[in-house]
Each structure stands twice: as C-alpha cells, then as structure tokens.
Amino acid sequence: MNPLTSNNPSMDSNYYWDLLMKGNRQGLEGLYKEYIVTLFNYGIALSKDENFIQDCIQEVFIDLWKYHKSLGKAVHVKAYLLRALSHKIFRENQQKTKLLTVEWKDGIDNTIVVESIESELIDIQREKGLQIKLANALDKIPLRQKQAIHLLFFEQLSYEEVSKLMGINLRSVYTIAWKAIANLKKHIVSGISILVFLTLLQFY
C-alpha cells in the first residue's frame, strides 16, 4: 500500500489552532486539511489497517473539538497531532490485544552511530525494487522502532522532538533508532547497504 503522496498546507497552522481555541470550526477544518496526509502516512507506518487508522484520525479531531476550550497556546501543532494519533492508536490496540505495552530500557548512547548514518543519507537514487524490500524489512521490526524511524526519517523531526512526542528521554530515542537500524540490517539482502534502505525510507 502506497501512502498518500503530499500535503498542501494553505495557511499557518498556528492561525488554525487559534481559531480552534476560540471555538471556530474553520480552525478544525483547516488543521484537518493541512495534516490529514501527514497523519495518515504516520498511522499507516504503525498499522496497515487503513480503516482503523482513518477511525483513529477522526477520533483525534473529534477530541480536539470536544476539548478545544482547554487547549494551550504554546503548541507545536504537527508534533501535538502526531502524538495524539500515536496515543490513540496504542490505546485502541491495547484495548483489543493487551499486548502492546512495552518497557524500553536505556542502552548505550549511540548518538554518533545514528547521526553518522544520517549524514550519509545524501544523493542516493530512488529505486522501486529496494522500496519493496524496505517495506518488507520495516514490517519485521518492532512497532516502537518503526515509530521512531518514521518520525525521524519520514517526518524529519529532531531527536528532541521525537523524545517529547514518544514520551521518552533523548538517550532512549537514540537507542531505539540504533536498534531499529540494527534490526533492518538483519533483513537486508547481501550487498545492499543499510544507508540505501534508510534513504529510500523518504520515498516509501
């Protein structure tokens, strides 16, 4: 399944957010139009059930309207919505399976390893065949690791932003990202670089 292709934000998200806080439905509609593609692509990275993801997104916006009077002004809107969707997905899955509660322990600080990989993700060509292999590899890694990879490489959030969004400390973000990369390596065909796979992640 190919994710939706692009978003076309028309106005500043803070403008829509302010309208929403004032009880103006145009604010809610503006945020929905601006971030629906981003939220859908993020959700599909966590679950392949499109209907489930669409329902979760709808519930996020229902909650936004329901609790708009209690929203704060100082908000990074994109990170707020991604976090809200992430919590919604995990809560719904936990209610269904009760198998998704995982504790993550801090490991070695792999800052240098992960950031050195990022620095090499330049000028590598897009290849359809490797995209398929990447998709298969991503489906084999734990959900928490897939979430971190998506936020870092799809959404291009900083490690600090991912730390706040996932509710974990900065070292844990580096650790999870490093583990995800190590797990992806296990599923890579001999002779194909992990750097190629991570670069193709931008186009998956």
User: 111-200 belongs to which CATH class?
Assistant: mainly alpha
Contacts (Cβ under 8 Å, ≥6 apart) of 70: none
Q: Which of the four pLDDT bands, split at 50, 70 and 90, describes residue 61?
A: very high
The predicted-structure confidence for 32-54, as pLDDT tens digits, reads as follows: 999 999 899 888 887 878 888 99
Structure token pair of residue 102: 């995982």
Residue 139 to residue 24: CA distance in whole angstroms: 40
Residue type, 194: I
| Length of the chain counted residue by residue | 204
Helix ranges (DSSP H) in the chain: 13-21, 25-46, 50-66, 77-97, 111-119, 128-138, 143-149, 159-166, 170-186, 194-200
Pick 26 or 2 by higher pLDDT.
26
Residue 88 to residue 95: CA distance in whole angstroms: 11
Residue given tokens 């309207």 in the structure block:
65
Residue type, 102: V
| DSSP-derived 3-state class of residue 110 | coil
Task: Indicate the domain borders of the chain.
Answer: 13-97, 111-200
Residue 158 to residue 74: CA distance in whole angstroms: 18
Residue 204 to residue 193: CA distance in whole angstroms: 16
What element of type H or E holds 70? none
**Model pLDDT, residue 177:** 85
Q: Which of the four pLDDT bands, split at 50, 70 and 90, describes residue 170?
A: confident
Q: What percent of the chain has pLDDT over 90?
A: 11
- Decide yes or no: CATH 1.10.10 for domain 13-97: no
The answer to whether the beta carbons of residues 197 and 188 sit under 8 Å apart is yes
Residue 140 to residue 143: CA distance in whole angstroms: 9
Is pTM beyond 0.85 here? no
Give the number of other Cβ atoms within 10 Å of residue 103's Cβ: 4
